[in-house]
Amino acid sequence: MLTPHAAVDRRHDLSQPLEALSPDETLKASSRQLRGTIATGLLDRITGAVPGTGPKLLKFHGVYQQDDRDLRDERRRQKLEPAYMFMIRVRLPGGVCTPAQWLKLDELARAHGRETLRITTRQTIQFHWVLKHHLRATIQGLHDVLLDTIAACGDDTRGVMCSVNPDVSPLHAEIYDWAKRASEHATWKSRAYHEIWYGDERVASSEPEEPFYGRSYMPRKFKIGFVLPPSNDIDIYAQDLGFIAIEEDGRLVGFNVVIGGGMGRTDSAPHTYPRLASPIGYVPVDRVMPVIDAVMSVQRDFGDRADRAHARFKYTIDDKGLDWIVGEIEARLGQSFAPARLFHFTSNADAVGWVHGRDGHDHLTLFIENGRVVNGETAIMDGLRALARVHTGTFRLTPNQNLIVSGVTPEARPMIDAIVREHGLLALNDRSGLRLNAMACVALPTCGLAMAESERYLPSLLTKLEASLARHGLERQPITIRMSGCPNGCSRPYIAEIALTGRALGKYNLYLGGGAHGERLNRMYLENAGEPAILSALDGLFARYAVEHLPGERIGDFAVRAGYVTPVTEGRHFND
C-alpha cells in the first residue's frame, strides 16, 4: 500500500506478517488479548512455574516469574526445578499511596512476600518471593484497596512517573492528577486481568477489547513521565515520552515534550545504546492525552518488531530521523508543537528530611537504602506500618527509591516526629552525600537478568568508597552513583555521575561523567573491573576532584573536564 511515508523502511514493523517478526509478536497476537494459558498454568501442581508462554504474558499483568538464583545450581543437582517465585509490581502512578493502601501492602508482604517490600526506581512497590499459589490472593488483596498491577511490566505503557516536589504541593497535585489520568488512559483494557485474577465471568462483546493496542500491543515497553522543574527527580530524559511542566505565576499552563529516552543496552551489541530524550516542543496543558495517543501510535506502528533489542522508541527515532518522527506525530495530532519554553533543572536527587510545603503542610523524606523496606538493623517495615496507622496524608514513593510522609498537618507533626524517632527512621537520613544519592537495582538472587550482584553489594562498596571520600574531605559532597546487575539499566545508571553495570559475578563496567541533573550520559571508563580496580580508580578521581574542582562543579562535570572520559553528545555514540 502506498502511503505518504512510502519512503520509510517498514520491513520490521507492524505492517509485516507475524512470521517475519520476532516470536513475541506471534505470542501476543495469539494470546486472546493477554489471556493465553495463564489461568490453567496457575492450577498446574507439578511445577511452581506458570508453564509455556505464561511467563511472557504474565508480565503484562505486572507479574514476573523468577527463581531464587542462589539455589539454582544446588536444586538442579537435587533434581528439583528452580525455586520459582514471582515478583509482583503494583501500578501506582506518580508513586502516591494512601495509608490504608500502605497497610494492605504491608500485610500482603508479611503474608506472601517474605516480609519485605521494595520501592522501585519507577516509584512503585514490588513484592518478591511470592509463590504461585499465593498470586491470586495477593492480587485480590491489592484489589481490596483499589490497587492493581495492570501493565506494570510488558510491551505496554509502564507505570507513569511524576515528580514528588513536596515543597510545591499544589502544583504537584496537578501534575500527579495528569500522571494518574495518563496511566488510566494508556494502560491496556482487556478484561483478561479481571477474569484471571478476580475470577470475573467473561463478558461477550462486539466491541474490540483493545481499541488502541489491537492484538499486538507495543513493540516493547513504553515509559511516560511528568516532571516539575527545577527538580529532575524522575530523570525525564530517560523516558520514552516525557512532559516537563511549565509554570506561569504558580499555575500549570502546559508542557515541554521530550521523546525517545531509554537506558537499556546489551554488552557487545553496538547497535544498542542508552539515549537521552529529545525535546520536540511545547503543548498547552489540555493536549496531554492527544499527545500521548499520537506519540504512542507512531511507535506502535513504526517500532521494530523483529529485533527486541532494537525495539524501543529511541531506535525508531534514530532510524527514521527525529524530524520525520515529529512530523508524523504532528500529523496525527493535527497540530504543530510550539517552540519549547524555558525551564531549569538543578538536580535529580531527593532532599531528605522535613520541608514545609506551600500548602502549609509538612513533608518528611526518608532515605530508604535501595528502596528495601525490611525489618533489618532498623525495623523500617514496622516503623512505616506504625506511621501508616496514624498518618492522615499520603505516602509518596520517590524515583530515587525513597519515601515521603506527605501532607502532615501542624497538629499531627509531633506525633509523626515521635514515631519516626522511636523507630529509628530519622537516623536513616544521616548518611554520606554519596549514599544518599546512590541507587541499585534488585539483581541477585531474584532477577533473571542479573549477571552480578547489585542491591546486596552496593551498600558494602559504598562503605569502602566513603572511607576514600573521608580521606579527601568529600563525605557531604552529593555524588550520584548507580549500580545495575546487568546492562539493561533499571537503576538508570547511564545518567549517573558514577555508574557500575554488572558483567559477571564481581565484575563491573565503570562509567564516569554523567550529568548531575540527568542532562548528560556517562561513558565507560573501565571494562570488566573487579573491586580493587574500581576502588583505586575512584580514589584517584576523588583525590583530584578534591583539589582541582571549580566552585560548584559536580564530580560528573569534573570527570569530563579533567579528561577521564570524553562527553557523550548523543546516545548512538555511547559505544564509540
Partner 1 sequence: MTQAVDLPSAPTTIRPDILTSRQWNDLQALATSLSAAQALWVSGYLFALGGVSRGAVLDEPSPGIASATAAPVRTLTILYGSETGNSAALARTLADRAGALGLPASAIDMAEYMPRRLKDADDVLLITSTHGDGDPPQPAASFFEFLEGPKAPRLSDLRYAVLALGDSSYEHFCEAGKRLDRRLEALGAARLHERIDCDVDFDAPASSWTDAVLATLASSASPTSVAAGRDGRVAVAPAAVVVDRQHPLTATVVGNLVLTGRGSTKETRHVELSFPEGGLTFTPGDALGVVVRNDPQVVDQLIECLALSGDTPVTLAKRTTTLADALTSDYEIATVTPRFIDVWTEVTGADDLRRLTTTEGAAERAALIRTHHVIDLVERYRAPGISAETLLKALRPLTRRLYSIASSLSAVPDEVHLTVSVVRYTLHGRERTGVASGHLADRCATGETLPVYVQANPHFRLPHDDVPILMIGAGTGVAPYRAFLQEREARGAAGRSWLVFGERHFRTDFLYQVEWQDLLKRGVLTRMDVAFSRDAADKVYVQHRLVEQARAVFDWLEDGAHVYVCGDATRMAPDVDEALVTIVECAGGRDRDAAVEYVHTLQQSHRYQRDVY
DSSP string for residues in 198-247? H-PPPPP-SS-S-TTTTTT--SS-B-EEEE-TTB-TT-GGGSSEEEEEEE
Minimal distance in Å, beta carbon 66 to partner 1?
Answer: 14
ω into residue 445 within 30 of 0, thus cis? yes
Other Cβ atoms less than 10 A from the Cβ of 45: the count is: 7
Draw the binding track, 154-193, toward partner 1 (x: CB under 8 A; -: no contact): ----------------------------------------
H helix runs in 78-117, sequence order: 99-112
Q: Which one from 104, 220, 221, 275 is the annotated catalytic residue? A: 221
Looking only at Cα atoms, what is the longest distance across the chain?
71
Q: Nearer to partner 1 by C-beta: 217 or 457?
A: 457
Of the ranges 78-86, 196-204, 456-464, 469-477, which one interacts with partner 1 (CB under 8 A)? 78-86
Name the nearest CA neighbour of 511 among 535, 494, 528, 531: 494
Contact flag: residue 75 with partner 1 (CB under 8 A): yes
Considering the complex, state which of residue 27 and residue 71 has its C-beta at the smaller distance from partner 1.
71
Q: Is 223 a catalytic residue?
A: yes
- In degrees and rounded to multiples of 5, residue 500 shows phi and psi of -135, 125
Within 8 A by CB and 6+ apart from 166, the residues are: 172, 355, 357, 363, 365, 396, 404, 406
Quick check: 46 binds partner 1 (CB under 8 A)? yes
Distance CA(345)–CA(406), nearest Å, equals 23
Does 506 participate in binding partner 1 (rule CB under 8 A)? Answer: yes
Residue from 15, 47, 140, 346 touching partner 1 (CB under 8 A): that is 47
Give the end-to-end CA distance of the chain in Å, rounded to a whole number: 39
Q: Could you tell me which stretch among 224-232, 415-423, 477-485, 499-507 binds partner 1 (CB under 8 A)?
A: 499-507
Provide the mask over 115-134, with x wherever binding to partner 1 is found by CB under 8 A and - wherever it is not.
Answer: ----------------x-x-
Are 261 and 237 in contact by the 8 Å Cβ rule? The answer is yes
How many chain residues interact with partner 1 (CB under 8 A)? Answer: 28
> For residue 55, which phi and psi values (nearest 5 degrees)?
-55, -40
Active-site hit among 97, 153, 162, 490? 490
Q: Under the criterion CB under 8 A, does residue 267 sit at the interface with partner 1? A: yes
Q: Are strands 372-374 and 362-366 parallel, antiparallel or unpaired?
A: unpaired
Instruction: Sort 486 into a burial class: Cβ within 10 Å, 0-12 / 13-18 / 19+.
Output: buried
CA distance 162 to 158: 13
Per rule CB under 8 A, is residue 253 in the interface with partner 1? Answer: no
Based on the shown chain and the rule CB under 8 A, indicate whether residue 73 belongs to the binding site for partner 1: yes
Rule CB under 8 A: say whether 389 interacts with partner 1.
no
Least CB distance to partner 1 at residue 293 (A): 36
Is residue 486 among the annotated active site residues?
A: yes
Query: Rule CB under 8 A: is residue 503 a binding residue for partner 1?
Result: yes
Instruction: Verify binding: residue 71, partner 1, rule CB under 8 A.
Output: yes
* Cβ–Cβ < 8 Å for 125, 191: no
Q: Is 427 in the site for partner 1 (CB under 8 A)?
A: no
- Residue 512: CB minimum distance to partner 1, A: 18
Is 527 among the residues that bind partner 1 (CB under 8 A)? yes
3-state secondary structure 112-166: HCCCEEEECCCCCEEEEEECHHHHHHHHHHHHHCCCECCCCCCCCECCCEECCCH
CB of 131 to partner 1, least distance (A): 8
The yes-or-no answer on residue 158 being catalytic is yes
**C-alpha torsion 552→554→555→560, nearest 10:** -110
Active site residue 490: yes
Q: To the nearest whole angstrom, how small is the minimum distance from the Cβ of residue 316 to partner 1?
A: 24
74 binds partner 1 (CB under 8 A): yes
Residues numbered 430-459 forming contacts with partner 1, rule: CB under 8 A: 451
DSSP string for residues in 52-65? TTHHHHHHHTTEEE
CB of 274 to partner 1, least distance (A): 19
> How far, in Å, are 48, 188, 195, 210, 485 from residue 205 at the CA level?
34, 17, 14, 12, 45
The residue range among 26-34, 73-81, 245-253, 277-285 that interacts with partner 1, by the rule CB under 8 A, is: 73-81
* Residue whose CB is less far from partner 1, 83 or 434: 83
Here the cell at position 244 is 516537563
153 among known catalytic residues = no
- Which residue out of 91, 153, 441, 523 is catalytically annotated? 441
Question: With respect to partner 1, which residue has the nearer C-beta, 225 or 502?
Answer: 502
Among the residue ranges 40-48, 90-98, 146-154, 222-230, the one whose residues contact partner 1 (CB under 8 A): 40-48
43 belongs to the binding site for partner 1 (CB under 8 A): no
Q: Please tell me which residue in 59, 122, 220, 223 is annotated as part of the active site.
A: 223
Taking CB under 8 A as the criterion, the residue among 3, 205, 206, 268 binding partner 1 is 268
504 binds partner 1 (CB under 8 A): yes
Bridge partners for 227 per DSSP: 244
Q: Does 77 bind partner 1 (CB under 8 A)?
A: yes
CB of 497 to partner 1, least distance (A): 24
Contact 277, 238 (CB under 8 A): yes
Instruction: Give bridge partners of residue 484 from the DSSP assignment.
Output: 501
Contact 498, 538 (CB under 8 A): yes
Tell me the closest approach of the beta carbon of residue 514 to partner 1, in angstroms. Answer: 22
The distance of closest approach from Cβ of residue 146 to partner 1 in the complex, given in angstroms and rounded to an integer, is 29
Catalytic residue among 91, 158, 265, 314: 158
Bond before 478 cis per omega within 30 degrees: no
Integer CA distances (angstroms), 522 to 227, 262, 348, in order: 22, 14, 15
Q: Which of 1, 2, 17, 79 lies at the binding interface for partner 1 (CB under 8 A)?
A: 79
**Active-site residue flag, 89:** yes
Catalytic residue IDs: 89, 158, 221, 223, 441, 447, 486, 490
Kindly list the residues in this chain that would bind partner 1 in the complex (CB under 8 A).
45-48, 71-81, 83, 131, 133, 267-268, 451, 503-507, 527-528
